[in-house]
């Protein structure tokens, strides 16, 4: 409930609803994270895209005791966005203490039928710290940006080990993070 209020406050002026759960909900999630779901947030003042934000992942904690939620932004409403967040939530529920910026995940198929097949965990740069960090009575909840990227970009990051180097390339190229067909920056 707490994180929903934070998200609703940040996305004021946007239509916010609970996204339908995917057809397959991992058994581990329903037992470990009761009530886990994804909010679908329509276009508005904060973004021209559709934002998808997890709710309930923060029931598990990071190494420092803080909670974690995920945010993915899409050019259009699509069930694949919800599936990606459920997939990540299922993976992270038991590994949340090892989550870090720069972590990548192969999603096994192109995002939105585009060119990108990997997801990158990063700070939510399009939204800044007002979305990223939410104060709660027992500490903080950090909202991480789930950014679709190319395999070549994930490979570059793994080879150089420097998230800043990849993000600098994103900045120089001026990537449109809503474009599933954007060119790779490496």
Taking residues 99-110, report their average pLDDT: 93
Of 31 and 11, the structure prediction assigns the larger pLDDT to: 11
Asked whether residue 88 is assigned to any structural domain, the reply reads yes
Per the structure, how many domains does the chain have? 1
Asked whether residue 109 is assigned to any structural domain, the reply reads yes
Asked whether residue 9 is assigned to any structural domain, the reply reads yes
3-state secondary structure the chain: CHHHHHHHHHCCCCCEEECCCCCCCCHHHHHHCCCCEEEEECCCCCCCCEEEEEECHHHCCCCCCCEEEEEEEECCCCHHHHHHHHHHHHHHCCCHHHCCCCCEEECCCCHHHCCCCEEEEECCCCCCHHHHEEEECCEEEEEEEEEEECHHHHHHHHHHCCHHHHHHHHHHHCCCCCCCCCCCCC
Asked whether residue 181 is assigned to any structural domain, the reply reads no
The residue range of the domain holding 27 is: 2-173
Model pLDDT, residue 27: 67
Rg over CA atoms, the chain: 16
pLDDT tens, residue by residue, 50-82: 999 999 998 887 767 788 999 999 999 999 999
* pTM of the full structure: 0.94
Kindly report the average pLDDT of the chain as a whole number: 91
């Amino acid at each position: 409930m707490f994180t929903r209020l934070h998200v609703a406050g940040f996305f004021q002026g946007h239509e916010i609803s609970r996204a339908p759960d995917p057809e397959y909900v991992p058994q581990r999630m329903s037992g470990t994270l009761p009530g886990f779901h994804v909010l679908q947030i329509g276009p508005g003042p904060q973004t021209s895209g559709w934002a998808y934000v997890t709710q309930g992942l923060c029931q598990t904690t990071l190494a420092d005791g803080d909670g974690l939620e995920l945010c993915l932004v899409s050019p259009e409403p699509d069930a694949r966005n919800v599936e990606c967040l459920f997939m990540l939530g299922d993976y992270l529920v038991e590994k949340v203490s090892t989550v870090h910026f720069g972590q990548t995940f192969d999603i096994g198929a192109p995002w939105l039928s585009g060119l990108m097949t990997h997801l990158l965990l990063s700070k939510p740069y399009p939204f800044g710290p007002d979305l990223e960090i939410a104060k709660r009575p027992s500490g903080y909840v950090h909202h991480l940006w789930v950014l679709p990227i190319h395999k070549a970009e994930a490979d570059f990051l793994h080879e150089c080990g420097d998230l800043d180097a990849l993000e600098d390339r994103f900045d120089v190229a001026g990537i449109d993070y809503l474009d599933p067909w954007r060119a790779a920056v490496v």
